[in-house]
Amino acid sequence: MEESGQTGPKVLQTPAHISSLAFGHRSHLFAGCDDGTVRLYDLETYKVMKAIRGLKSEVSSIACLERSGVDYRDAWIACGRQIFSFRMDSEKLVLTPEDAVSTFQICEDEEDVLNEISFDGGKKNLAFSTDSGNAGVLDLTTKKVVKMKTKHTNICANVKFIPDRPREIVSSGYDETLLHFDGLQGSLLSRRKMPPIDSTVDGMTLSPPFITCTAISPAGVLAAGLADGRLWLGFGGEKTSTPKSAGKRRARKWNGLSEESELGPQKIADGPIVAANFIDSDILVVSTLLGTIKIFRLLREKDGEVPQLEEVLEIQAKTIEKVNALAIHGARIAIGGFAKDGKGVIVIWDENTVWK
């Protein structure tokens, strides 16, 4: 499926490249740019409601926090070496760093910058990843920062909390490795290094198996997208609702990196996979660098067997030159990056345009 005018997706342009996206809720989309600006869009009108300016570095990641009685979500923003917290229900239409409720200096080295931030399920802790290979956790109650005792040997690009396990995080990076930590103690629990590509099966590629993106489903399935166009899925930590599992105690350890319960990595694209997210526990959306969106369903044939992937839809975003970010709310999908004219661009599919 391609973009198709009035019945296709909505396209929004910005002066600077889009570097991050996050849904506040179904009708609010945050868009961060590489010039240190953030725009909050109302997706009923596709107009900018609020903006943040003057952050001075690329906005690498945005995480949203709901506050009781407030329609606007608070925006937690990773920018350069700092994390900022903004309350978007402020009377101001344009906020600056001085309006931040909290500011945390995470990276001490001037050459180090933040990549991804993400909340745990209870919104009490915020995980972060950095260029120097560090993964860490910021406790929002005590304001204490814990950095993991084991570093990635290259850029740590991604970090996620494991659902229903507020102590545990999984990080990944350009060292081709997934690391699983106790986020409060900083100790390493497990690891999985991606195997090299098999040219006899997947063909030749000049791209190394950098892990460029990850996603984790509500049930604990981990997906990792690689720069060489392969996709890896780990099912060892998945929660199931089959009769056999009813009443069983939760496993003490999340085994999502187990080689015995993995699928792939298998080649699904010709270019780098740069973004991934789950719509629900069985529907995975990935985007390539050049704007090909692929939607997969996890096929579960027999209990105890590793599910297989079924591609159910492919969308080509023709107006985007390169993709930097993807965000999902329900069946609404947004990707962001820049267009051929050098301007920033966001492409948004709603439920009606995605599945037609």
Lowest mean pLDDT among 56-65, 120-129, 191-200: 191-200
Residue 256 has pLDDT above 50, yes or no: yes
Which sign, positive or negative, has the C-alpha torsion 288, 291, 292, 296? positive
The stretch 261-274 carries a mean pLDDT of 94
What is the torsion angle, in degrees rounded to the nearest 10, for the CA atoms of residue 41, residue 126, residue 276 and residue 30?
A: 10
Return the higher-pLDDT residue of 1 and 75: 75
Structure tokens at 34: 């590489």
Report the Cα 337 to chain-centroid distance in Å.
14
Contact 234, 257 (CB under 8 A): yes
CB atoms within 10 A of CB 47: 11
Tell me how long the chain is.
356
Contact 274, 287 (CB under 8 A): yes
Strand 47-52 relative to strand 94-95: parallel, antiparallel, unpaired? parallel
Structure tokens at 325: 């970010």
| Percent of the chain topping pLDDT 70 | 92
List Cα–Cα distances, 194 to 77, 208, 273, in angstroms.
Answer: 30, 10, 15
Of the pLDDT bands very low, low, confident and very high (cuts 50, 70, 90), residue 4 is very low
Instruction: Give the pLDDT confidence of 10-55 residue by residue, as tens digits.
Output: 999 999 999 999 999 999 999 999 999 999 999 999 999 999 999 9
The stretch 303-312 carries a mean pLDDT of 88
Residue 10 host element (H or E): strand 10-14
Residue 326 has pLDDT above 80, yes or no: yes
Give me the pLDDT at residue 352, please: 73
Residue 3 has pLDDT above 80, yes or no: no
Give me the pLDDT at residue 354, please: 65
Residue 253 has pLDDT above 90, yes or no: no
Give 284's contacts (C-beta < 8 A, 6+ positions apart): 215, 217, 223, 276, 277, 278, 295, 296, 297, 298, 309
The stretch 271-280 carries a mean pLDDT of 96
| Percent of the chain topping pLDDT 90 | 84
Structure tokens at 306: 């590793």
Contact 233, 309 (CB under 8 A): yes
Give me the pLDDT at residue 2, please: 39
Degrees, nearest 5: CA angle 116-259-122: 40
Which domains can be identified in the chain, with CATH numbers? 5-47+147-354 (2.130.10)
Give me the pLDDT at residue 198, please: 74
CA 229 to CA 50: how far, in whole Å?
36
Instruction: Give the pLDDT confidence of 109-146 residue by residue, as tens digits.
Output: 999 999 999 999 999 999 999 999 999 999 999 999 99
Residue 244 has pLDDT above 60, yes or no: no
Report the chain's mean pLDDT, rounded to a whole number: 92
Structure tokens at 84: 């900022």
CA 163 to CA 203: how far, in whole Å?
36
Q: Nearest to residue 14, comparing CAs of 27, 33, 29? A: 33
pTM metric for this prediction: 0.92
Instruction: Give the pLDDT confidence of 132-189 residue by residue, as tens digits.
Output: 999 999 999 999 999 999 999 999 999 999 999 999 999 999 999 999 999 999 999 9
DSSP code, position 2: B
Of the pLDDT bands very low, low, confident and very high (cuts 50, 70, 90), residue 351 is confident
